[in-house]
Amino acid sequence: MEAMNEESDRVIESELTAAEAVGPVDAPEAERSAAGSDATASADADTPRATANRAANFPASFAAYIGSGWADRPLVAPPLRDQAPFAAARRRRLSEAFPGTRIVVRAGGRKVRSNDTDYPYRADSAFSWLTGWGADTEPDAVLVLEPAGEAHLATLHFRPAAGRDSDEFYANPEIGEFWIGARPTLDQVAAELGLSTAPLADFASRVGELDADTDTELARTLSEFRLVKDEYEVNQMREAVAATATGFDDIVADLPRIQQHARGERVVEGIFYTRARTEGNAVGYDTIAASGPHACILHWTRNDGPVVPGDLILIDAGVELPSLYTADITRTLPVDGRFTPTQRMVYEAVREAADAAFAIVQPGIRFSEIHDTAMAVIARKTAEWGLLPVTAEEAVSPENQQHRRYMVHGTSHHLGIDVHDCAKARRELYREGVLEPGMVFTIEPGLYFQPDDLTVPEELRGIGVRIEDDILVTADGAENLSAAIPRTADEVEAWIARHAGA
């Protein structure tokens, strides 16, 4: 955070023009020619998708007619976004790490889901981290850090708003304004992100540059830079958790309706999705709504099963904000509002593992110690219940690990703009890394007794429990950002009862 206030000229952000008075959406001549006055000049238009064989031709006179009669759209410059100074500090840090080298970080393009329909667009995380551009990123945008003296000059290239002299706005289903909405102008984006902007058409790869899509050292560095969150990011994580908490509350409030549907798990997914779309940008990952024995399938996202009284339902979901930061939270609920004694025993064992892991979190410990601490509880509990062929002490030794039959996944992963954040960081900075204030990660132990596991008594089979919270490392310990979502068995029962009585 202190870097924000430092006078640093490592990255020279070039002069922003027209920051006070952004012109009309219709681009000036220079931009028009750069963006291409002919829609077919754009890469997107080169290969129109399946619409070509059903499109009615426009007569030659039509372009002139539809190109006229439009009001100017003078725009007030949008304010600088909160994240802009933080993104500038991140670019300075990258500049210092790669002096004299041209750096290219791409937002990525749209991806086809089928035929002429795309997946919802989602910008590359490193690109978003460096630019502060989130859910509204223009596809195919490219950030370039060009060496300039001791530092770099940062320029954001993207496909700007097209003028009415182009046929793009009405005739191009993939990028045209009438089809998918207007793009921002270069000046608008420059004002919002505090970055110098240029048309995408002006961007070309150069020999010797490092491209984050292909250079592993650059990609790794960007991943490692993201391990410690700045003040903006921590606030985003708090917001993402708050929105996610509301989504979980929506689910609990609707438990009676959920049980009535043959695909109750889908109802759960839909309820959470509605909250994610209304409060945030989307879900940060596919929601896991796993009722009954489905809870034993770690990444159950088919979500097509019923939600039956007497069972537990495991819900693992997170709201991704427009800034692209996401929460990642799991709660396991008794569908009818009350844990059976066996369910409660398993649930509270998992909670004990989570609480033990959380208790040791502070700057200076190793990330892997969190997992080891949670697993020691899992080993002790499963040994106490007579499930292990060895003692708990024997099980936790590296050459044994029998208890992991019931929890094969890790306890923690970093969290941020990606749900599994910093995935390209080196093992010595991740698993073997030492905790620092500002790190955000999950603690998510579980116990999963497969329905056909002959090593466990019948009453345990088909029970799956996970409790997942989002943890911030503070100066002298840790804060559970999701502590306000009911966690203990008693709290969870009271939560459901509160809604049932309402």
CB-wise, 189 or 268, nearer to Mn ion?
A: 268
Tell me how far, at minimum, the Cβ of 330 lies from Mn ion, in Å: 7
Q: Least separation, in Å, of the C-beta of 276 and Mn ion? A: 16
Q: Annotate 428-447 with DSSP letters as a single string.
A: TTTTTPBP-TT-EEEE--EE
Q: To the nearest whole angstrom, how small is the minimum distance from the Cβ of residue 285 to Mn ion?
A: 8
CA dist 6 and 499 (Å) reads 50
Piece of the chain touching Mn ion by CB under 5 A; list 55-63, 167-175, 325-333, 473-481 = 325-333
d(CA 307, CA 388): 31
Which residue in the set 13, 124, 269, 328 belongs to the binding site for Mn ion (CB under 5 A)? 328
Residues binding Mn ion: number (CB under 5 A): 2
Q: Identify the three-state secondary structure at position 371.
A: helix
Is the Cβ of residue 276 or residue 456 nearer to Mn ion in the bound state? 276
Q: DSSP letters along 121-165, please?
A: P---HHHHHHH---TTPPTT-EEEEEEETTEEEEEEEE--PPPTT
Residue number of the CB atom closest to Mn ion? 328
The smaller minimum CB distance to Mn ion, of residues 259 and 442, is found at: 442
- CA nearest 421: which of 253, 284, 271, 317? 284
Rank residues 223 and 442 by Cβ distance to Mn ion and give the closer one. 442
The continuous run of DSSP H or E covering 224 comes out as: helix 216-225
CB of 16 to Mn ion, least distance (A): 39
Taking every pair of Cα atoms in the chain, the longest distance, rounded to a whole number of angstroms, is 85
Paired strand residues for 198? 157
In the window 48-77, what residues touch Mn ion (CB under 5 A)? none
Nearest to 77 by CA among 199, 1, 190: 190
Taking alpha carbons only, the member of 367, 368, 395 closest to residue 381 is 395
For residue 427, give the nearest of 129, 229, 227, 215 by alpha carbon: 227
Work out which of 196, 236, 442, 482 binds Mn ion, going by CB under 5 A: 442
Region near Mn ion per CB under 5 A, out of 55-63, 184-192, 326-334, 449-457? 326-334
Residues 151, 166: Cα–Cα separation, whole Å: 38
The smaller minimum CB distance to Mn ion, of residues 107 and 354, is found at 354
412 binds Mn ion (CB under 5 A): no
Site stretch for Mn ion (CB under 5 A), options 32-40, 136-144, 324-332, 374-382: 324-332
Stretch that binds Mn ion, among 29-37, 50-58, 210-218, 321-329 (CB under 5 A): 321-329
* Residue owning tokens 């399938």: 297
Report, in Å, the least distance between residue 487 CB and Mn ion: 16
User: Residue 316 CB, nearest distance to Mn ion (Å)?
Assistant: 7
Kind and range of the H or E run holding 35: helix 29-35
Region from 135-143, 208-216, 337-345, 438-446 binding Mn ion, contact rule CB under 5 A: 438-446
Quote the least distance from Cβ 205 to Mn ion, whole Å: 36
Pick between residue 320 and residue 328 the one whose CB is nearest to Mn ion: 328
**Closest by CA position to 357, among listed 424, 439, 446, 437:** 446
Binding site for Mn ion (CB under 5 A): 328, 442
